[in-house]
Amino acid sequence: MSAPNNQYDPVEVTPLHPDEVARMRHEALAAIAAASTLEELKQVRLAHAGDRSPLALANREIGALPPSARADAGKRVGGARREVGEALKQRQAELEEERDARVLVEEAVDVTLPTGRLPQGGRHPVTTVAERMADIFVGMGFEVVEGPEVEAEWYNFDALNFLPDHPARTMQDTFFVESPSGGESGLVLRTHTSPVQVRALLERDLPVYVVAPGKTFRTDELDATHTPVFHQLEGLVVDEGITMGHLKGAIDEFVHGMFGSGLATRFRPSYFPFTEPSAEVDMECFVCRGASVGDPANPCRTCSSEGWIEVGGCGVVNPRVLTAAGVDTDRYSGWAFGLGVERTLMFARGVEDMRDMVEGDVRFTSAFGMEI
């Protein structure tokens, strides 16, 4: 830096000459305008507004001028520096805005793209629907119980009043289990969940209010409405003063909980060796509510335009079953029901073909969500 000088005319000090200041200002403004990134602008700031920039150096020269010349030179250099500062600020704002807009585009996430993450997996809808069915009864005070899938013939048939030569044994086509020596083992793959009725009565104190969800087996062909391995939900109540009215009430509660309130149910006379009287349970079609009956122009696929859907079998427990389980039939009576889980899933979730439930295609199961 030069020493104070009272003689020099400031226009004669080269860095402070108006043309020189204008050139420095012009160069700085041009460099600022040309900076196309924040990094470039940083370099421009150092070069044209930093401590060693031409305008900063010129500013230092002002101190060496005679006092009378300082104001004029100060105005000139200060004005140029202010202008450069303003331009830097403005360009900085512009470049930041450009960067933010670019980042928004470059780093945008398309939330509709399939993710690369492995799905967590979920349980099969047959399992979750069976649990939901059981939950409705748990809400009424029932307990959930289980029985074995490989069952003694006695529980599966004899205790349930299927006599050895009773034609009813052929109603359910049975997988018999061979003994290791190749003969009869006295075991079957249970054809229904009703043997759990007898097990529950033998194992528990009265009164009994239980539901038993579980896997069942029959030599049925796999088709749209049958599978050889399927699931049922058994229900059993044995208590004093039990009537079919209670059975109807419990079935109504189940239908309303599973399919929606206000749906009618009806009992159709039927036959099971272990209940007397016996009935098939139908519920009003929850899709057409009977409107499709006799209206060929508006057919209903859910109930085949019959207005009713069959949901299972039920009845008053045959006193022979209670006696086989050691229950005092003078004091106690009861009722039972058996509901098909796959059929309930078909109706409740609109599955048209039961084969989809057993083929293990994850596209079928994942459509039901990842319920755990």
Q: Is 254 in the site for ligand FA5 (CB under 6 A)?
A: no
Q: Is 156 in the site for ligand FA5 (CB under 6 A)?
A: no
Contact by Cβ (8 Å): 250, 137: yes
Tally the residues of the chain: 372
Q: Which one, of 22, 25, 210, lies nearest residue 134 by Cα?
A: 210
Q: Is 343 in the site for ligand FA5 (CB under 6 A)?
A: yes
Cα(250)–Cα(209) distance, rounded to whole angstroms?
Answer: 11
Q: Is 314 in the site for ligand FA5 (CB under 6 A)?
A: yes
Give the one residue of 137, 142, 254, 272 binding ligand FA5; rule: CB under 6 A. Answer: 272
Q: Which residue stretch of 109-117, 125-133, 229-237, 257-265 sits at the interface with ligand FA5 (rule: CB under 6 A)?
A: 229-237
Residue 332 CB, shortest distance to ligand FA5, in Å, is: 17
Q: Is 265 in the site for ligand FA5 (CB under 6 A)?
A: no
Q: Give the interface size with ligand FA5 as a residue count (CB under 6 A).
A: 23
Cα(337)–Cα(274) distance, rounded to whole angstroms?
Answer: 11
Q: Is 333 in the site for ligand FA5 (CB under 6 A)?
A: no
Nearer to ligand FA5, 17 or 215 (CB): 215
Burial 87-121 (b: 16+ CB within 10 A, else e): bbeebbeebeeeeeeeeeeeeeeeeeeeeeeeeee
Q: Is 227 in the site for ligand FA5 (CB under 6 A)?
A: yes
The answer to whether the annotation marks 276 as part of a ligand binding site is yes
Report helix angle 18-34 to 67-106, nearest 10: 10
Task: Kindly state the tokens that stand for 234.
Answer: 């058994």
Give the one residue of 128, 161, 174, 275 binding ligand FA5; rule: CB under 6 A. Answer: 275
Q: Which one, of 20, 23, 146, 32, lies nearest residue 88 by Cα?
A: 32
Q: Is 226 in the site for ligand FA5 (CB under 6 A)?
A: yes
Q: What is the DSSP string of 105-120?
A: HHT---TTSPPSSPP-
Q: Is 125 in the site for ligand FA5 (CB under 6 A)?
A: no
Annotated binding site for Mg(2+): 276
Annotated binding site: 276
Residues that bind ligand FA5 (CB under 6 A): 192, 194, 218, 220, 226-227, 230, 232, 234, 272, 275, 278, 310, 312-315, 336-338, 340, 342-343
